[in-house]
Structure 1
């Protein structure tokens, strides 16, 4: 594996639910909290999405209370940083060899486009099978659902993973809006799904090069785990 020490960050293009009228999109903190950690470690990053272009933001992730948490507001006020979401590259344009790790952000929008993207599935399998780091947080775990390895097995089969839990979905009042139960779908694929003792408690699961976080508050922990592994590879 080339020691480029570079991370590819994947975000959603979907800005609304299919069954209800509520808006959604990228949960901004799941990008900024990860970015803060990796940038401090001196690791460069690029952002891509299934369709490329401008990225919608989940309006709830922009509330004053949420923005004030863990420094998200500072990034939101940063014109240069926010402009990175104005014209993202398409996943189909990404060169796997340019990166050592991939990170899938969440926000409910990803439930509608991540599992539908063959380009993302192929890229995720390529990362994992070439000994690169695969990481997700919250609903970003939906990007694992249709990833099949060369031996025909789902990437998550027999792996310890986490992702946004069904109890958290119910507490967020989105159980009637989401197209499926992420926790259940991971378990159907043979994943060893794990979750924190309490909903919305930061929780990160590492299974070798597969690193997953349960909820928005876990993005920083996922980043720290990714940085540790990249440093260990050096």
Structure 2
């Protein structure tokens, strides 16, 4: 495995729910918290989306409380940084060989386009089978739902993982809006799913080169785990 010092970050291209009129998109802090940690550690993050082009941002992630958390407001005010989300590469345009790790951000938009993307599933398999780090946070593990190994088995079968829990969906008042329960779908594919003692506590699970975080507040901790493995 060649060391490129580059990390591929995948974000959603979906800006609304299918059943209701709520807007959604990338949860901005799940990008910025991860980005800040890996950049400080000397890695170059590269953002790609499922369809390419403009990336919608979940409006709730832009509320004062969330922007104030861990420096997201500074990134939101940074024109150069926000321009990275104005015209992204698509997953079809990126090559796993050019990166050391992949990171799947969340926001409810990923519940729709991450599991439906054959190219994302292929990228995840390529990273995993070449021994590179596969990481995800919050709803980002939706991208693992369609990922299979070369032998046809689900990549997460028998793996220890976490992701946004159903109690957290209820607390976020999205239980009637979401298309499925992420925790149930992970279990259906054979994953050993665990959660923090309390909803929205920071929680990260590592299983060899697979790293998952439970909720938005776990993004920086996922980044720390990724950096540690790459170092």
TM-score, with normalisation over the residues of structure 1? 0.98
Partner of 1:171: 171
In the alignment, structure 2 segments of 5+ residues that lack a partner are: none
Distance 1:157 1:130 in 2: 18
Partner of 2:104: 104
Partner of 2:54: 54
Partner of 2:5: 5
Distance 1:95 1:126 in 2: 9
Deviations 1:122-167 (A, max 9, x none): 0000110011100000000100001110122100000000000000
Distance 1:89 1:118 in 2: 16
Partner of 1:140: 140
For the pair 1:117 / 2:117, whether they are aligned, the reply is yes
Distance 2:5 2:40 in 1: 13
Deviations 1:165-194 (A, max 9, x none): 000001100000000000000001110001
In the alignment, structure 1 segments of 5+ residues that lack a partner are: none
Distance 1:96 1:157 in 2: 22
- Structure 2 counterpart SS, 1:190: coil
For the pair 1:93 / 2:96, whether they are aligned, the reply is no
Distance 1:3 1:71 in 2: 29
- Structure 2 counterpart SS, 1:115: helix
Q: How far does residue 95 in structure 1 lie from its aligned partner after superposition? A: 1.2
Q: Displaced runs of 4+ in structure 1, greater than 2 A?
A: none
Aligned residues: 231
Distance 2:33 2:51 in 1: 24
Mapping for residues 218-233 of structure 1, pairs under 5 Å: 218-231=218-231
Partner of 1:33: 33
Partner of 1:69: 69
Q: How far does residue 70 in structure 1 lie from its aligned partner after superposition? A: 1.1
For the pair 1:215 / 2:225, whether they are aligned, the reply is no
- Structure 1 counterpart SS, 2:103: strand
- Structure 2 counterpart SS, 1:102: strand
- Structure 2 counterpart SS, 1:211: strand
- Structure 2 counterpart SS, 1:148: coil
TM-score, with normalisation over the residues of structure 2? 0.99
Partner of 1:130: 130
Deviations 1:105-126 (A, max 9, x none): 0000000100010010000001
